[in-house]
Amino acid sequence: MASTILEAPAVAAAAGPLQFVQVRPGAAEAGRPYLGRPFSIADADPDTGRIVLVYRVVGPGTAQLAGLAPGTAVALLGPLGRPAPVRAAGDGPAPLWLAALGWQAVALRLLAARAVAAGVPVTVLLAAEGDDAAALADLWSTLLPRAPAAGAGAAGAAAAGEEGVRAAPVPGHLTVLPPRQVLSLLASAFGDRAGATGAAGSSGVGCGTGAPGRIAAVVPADGGLAAGDDPRVGGSGAAPGTTGPAPPPGSAGGPRPRLFAAGPPPFLRQVQRAVDGRPVDAFLVVDAYMPCGYGACLACAVPVRGGGGTRYVRACREGRWFAAGEVVL
């Protein structure tokens, strides 16, 4: 896992949850990469003018980005995509549930950070195993306390999702568990099917005009993320603005919970089935090949239902997130 901090004041000031940037390292050099690479914004601080990108090194583009020295200029375009609202419309802070398979969890981190800062109850289900589970749990450690495993001792040292232990989602916490468990637990979290349908998201589109970027630092992934006012050193482990775990979603008289899920299409299709008809407003973060990032090339077209049929929209402009009952996967 690599983490890159970019000094980009205009992008940091405008960035919203679930938005991304296109980065082209070595813009003045010949050879690959020819096109920018899309990266989710894992953190953005308007005060410092910095954004944080967290990624795996999987090819020449990410390898070049991870190897750049501080002070290196890069070509940067963003923020791109439609920002997700931190709060749901209506009275009271609706509980926010986030579910992701593996590294797609990075896309949800800025939404979680903004929601925690706004006092919204946040619960995270992260499907990962082995080294990925440890690395991604560290990525979230400054935002939410880790849920103890079922049957853990008083110290709560056992990690959720360890072999032989069936983890359970704990409202207000981060639960890391094997992928084979996350969907059944996700379905059980929202109760019985009641014929409810997910609400469509807002229709506003956010797309910046681009701004220059400069590498501020290349650091371990958990070292570049702002901890906020509560770095969880010697603290109680409760999320900022709360006194403990949030009540279960769907409680009588409580606001209707929201769910954002990120992962590859097979995972998202299973999430669609798991939440279908349950009392939750569910949204899916859909990734597609994005050569340009702002809608001109049409390479990221995604089919959605509406108007009595199916139409295509651009994931980079009308997305990347869609109502679970709307997008066709």
Contacts of 233 by beta carbon, 8 Å cutoff, 6+ apart: none
Q: What are the pLDDT digits (tens) for 179-233?
A: 778 777 777 777 766 544 444 333 333 333 344 455 454 444 444 444 333 322 2
Please state the pTM of the whole predicted model.
0.78
What's the pLDDT tens digit per position in 214-224? Answer: 545 444 444 44
- For 130, residues 6+ apart whose C-beta sits below 8 A from its C-beta are none
Domains and CATH numbers, the chain: 2-82+205-223 (2.40.30.10), 96-200+237-323 (no CATH)
The pLDDT value recorded for residue 215 is 46
Report CA-CA distances (Å) from 216 to 47, 68, 72.
15, 10, 8
Quote the pLDDT of residue 214.
52
Give the Cα separation of 101 and 77 in Å (integer).
Answer: 27
Q: Is residue 315 within 8 Å of 298, Cβ to Cβ?
A: no
pLDDT category of residue 58 using cuts at 50, 70 and 90: confident
Amino acid at 226: A
For the chain, give the number of residues. 329
User: Whole-angstrom Cα distance, residue 149 to residue 158?
Assistant: 6
| 12-36 residue pLDDT tens | 999 999 999 999 886 545 556 677 8
pLDDT at 240 over 90: no
